[in-house]
Structure 1
Amino acid sequence: MEEVKKQVDVKKNVEETIISKIRELIVSKHLEPGDRLPAERELAQKFGVSRNQLRQAIQKLEFYGLVKKYPQSGTRISNIGVTALNNMMSDILQLQEPDLKSLVETRIILETNAVRLAATRRTEEQVKEIEKAHEAYSQKAIKGENAIEEDLMFHLKIAEASNNSVINSLMLVITPEIISHFIKNKVCDKEENYLLIKEHKAIVDAIREKTPEKAVLHLQDHFKDLYKYCNE
């Protein structure tokens, strides 16, 4: 475990170094907003890092919208001004790894809005996908089997049915870690699983019936343990 932590810390330090160097190029006006980044090989050699390490750091900048990849045009610095780029990169370098409680609070906010939108915007095909995910979860949960993946897919299908690409993307980022943590730390209990299946079914029915407020109420009931965790 200690060795894994060291590897993670090294990876993080290399990423921070690369981001700092790109920021220096922007502040010194060797790179300006809208400019294309130098070729991957050239930049990796300049920074003394591997191409894979460079790629991961650039992916992080892309995630935060500070660079953007264009087909046949390479990766370009976002055209938002030097001061804004400098400040945003500084903020990224100071970011702490999110704690579980913060992730849970964010998930509640995101999925409450996702289920409300899903109950308003969902297509018939998306309802079928949610029902399919619910059925896959139910079959395993009834037997007391590990259903982490199936539970994850159920909630992600709801986010997908919101037809809001930003909510869907953010849910893809934070949900797996949260669900894995909570389900792995629960003992398989058939009585509890039956209750979770019932709660899932109520959410599915509200989405199918296009009753957004009812969908939110059922989600809040399903999330009662998450609310308790956040208020501890």
Structure 2
Amino acid sequence: MRARSLPPPIPPETDATGRQRIVRRKLSDGVLDRLQEMIESGQLAPGDNLPSERELMERFGVGRPAVREALQQLQTMGLITIAHGERSRVNVLTVGSVLQRIDAVAQLMLLAEPQQLGHLKEARRMFECGMVQAAAQRTTPEDIAELRAILADQAEMMRDAKAFIAADIRFHSRIAMMTGNPLFAAISQTMLRWIFRYHEGLLHWSGQEVVTMGEHHRIVDFIEAGDGHNACFAMGDHIDRSNAVYIKSL
């Protein structure tokens, strides 16, 4: 795919009197700004190849190190993919792909600042309660059948902590999908990954799996009845009980 034409150079900055000001910046920062503007404006669309390094060097009047540093920064930001022997390509961005890129940073933050876990859990409670209300209003027989099937699978995984947790994530993620909002689905799955990775070893406590299953079935019953109000209360009780058990286990 051919790269689109590059825009003309940006004129030097001026002050209120019209005089040009000299701004000292790294050359790579200037290249980064220009390429990011092209992506944001659509001049370089998802899937497009970027100009070659040589073309960028000639266009911006900079050396190869500045171009490569700018490209590396764009890749770190998730905007492009650099492939050896090929031209860099603009990425197709989705909510899921963007959130996935911050997974490692989020995990480090939770480990370095454990108090952030409480904030995350509070946000998740509000988020899940709102989602389950929307799911109850939009549910279909097929949705209920799939939720029941997930719970049937989860019931077979009582003695396998990781499999039980994976089924738990599928259950909550499926409720998020029922809202019809892809943002909800992606954010829900991401928050669950962060929480469960943080204290995975404490989530498999004796006897609580049965309680969890009962709560899940109760939530589905309210969703099936189209009772968003009680589905919200049931979800809130479920999350509060899980959080309380976690705190006692510390």
Q: Deviations over 1:137-177 (max 9, x none)?
A: 12212xx3211111110110111112222211211222212
Gaps of 5+ in 2: 1-25, 58-63, 81-88, 93-104, 111-115
User: Would the alpha carbon gap of residues 197 and 75 (structure 1) be closer, same or farther in structure 2, given more than 3 Å must change?
Assistant: closer
- Verify: 1:25 aligned to 2:41, yes or no: no
Higher mean C-alpha displacement, 30-39 vs 207-216:
30-39
Output the CA distance in 2 between the equivalents of 1:117 and 1:127.
14
User: Would the alpha carbon gap of residues 56 and 133 (structure 1) be closer, same or farther in structure 2, given more than 3 Å must change?
Assistant: farther
Aligned residue number for residue 204 of structure 1: 220
Aligned residue number for residue 114 of structure 1: 131
Q: Deviations over 1:52-92 (max 9, x none)?
A: 764341349xxxxxxxxxxxx9679xxxxxxxxxxxxxxxx
Matched letter for residue 210 of structure 1 = G
Output the CA distance in 2 between the equivalents of 1:187 and 1:33.
45
| Structure 2 counterparts to residues 141-152 of structure 1, below 5 A | 141=158, 144-146=159-161, 147-152=164-169
Output the CA distance in 2 between the equivalents of 1:197 and 1:75.
40
Matched letter for residue 175 of structure 1 = L
Higher mean C-alpha displacement, 109-118 vs 161-170:
161-170
CA contact (8 A) 1:40 1:54 kept: no
CA contact (8 A) 1:156 1:168 kept: yes
User: Would the alpha carbon gap of residues 172 and 35 (structure 1) be closer, same or farther in structure 2, given more than 3 Å must change?
Assistant: same
Find 2:77's aligned residue among 57, 65, 69: 57
Helix, strand or coil for the counterpart of 1:140? coil
Q: Deviations over 1:106-140 (max 9, x none)?
A: 21121111101111101211111111111111221
Residue 41 of structure 1, CA deviation: 5.1
User: Would the alpha carbon gap of residues 165 and 47 (structure 1) be closer, same or farther in structure 2, given more than 3 Å must change?
Assistant: same
Give the TM-score taking structure 1 as reference length: 0.62
- Verify: 1:39 aligned to 2:50, yes or no: yes
Gaps of 5+ in 1: 1-16, 61-72, 77-94
Normalized per residue, the structure richer in helix is 1
Q: Deviations over 1:39-61 (max 9, x none)?
A: 0754796542496764341349x
Residue 212 of structure 1, CA deviation: 0.5
CA contact (8 A) 1:40 1:51 kept: no
**How many residues in Structure 1 have an aligned counterpart in Structure 2?**
179
CA contact (8 A) 1:104 1:226 kept: no
Helix, strand or coil for the counterpart of 2:147? helix
Higher mean C-alpha displacement, 98-107 vs 171-180:
98-107
Matched letter for residue 25 of structure 1 = R
Displacement over 6 Å in runs of 4+:
50-53
CA contact (8 A) 2:153 2:167 kept: yes
- Compare CA radii of gyration and give the structure with the larger one: 2
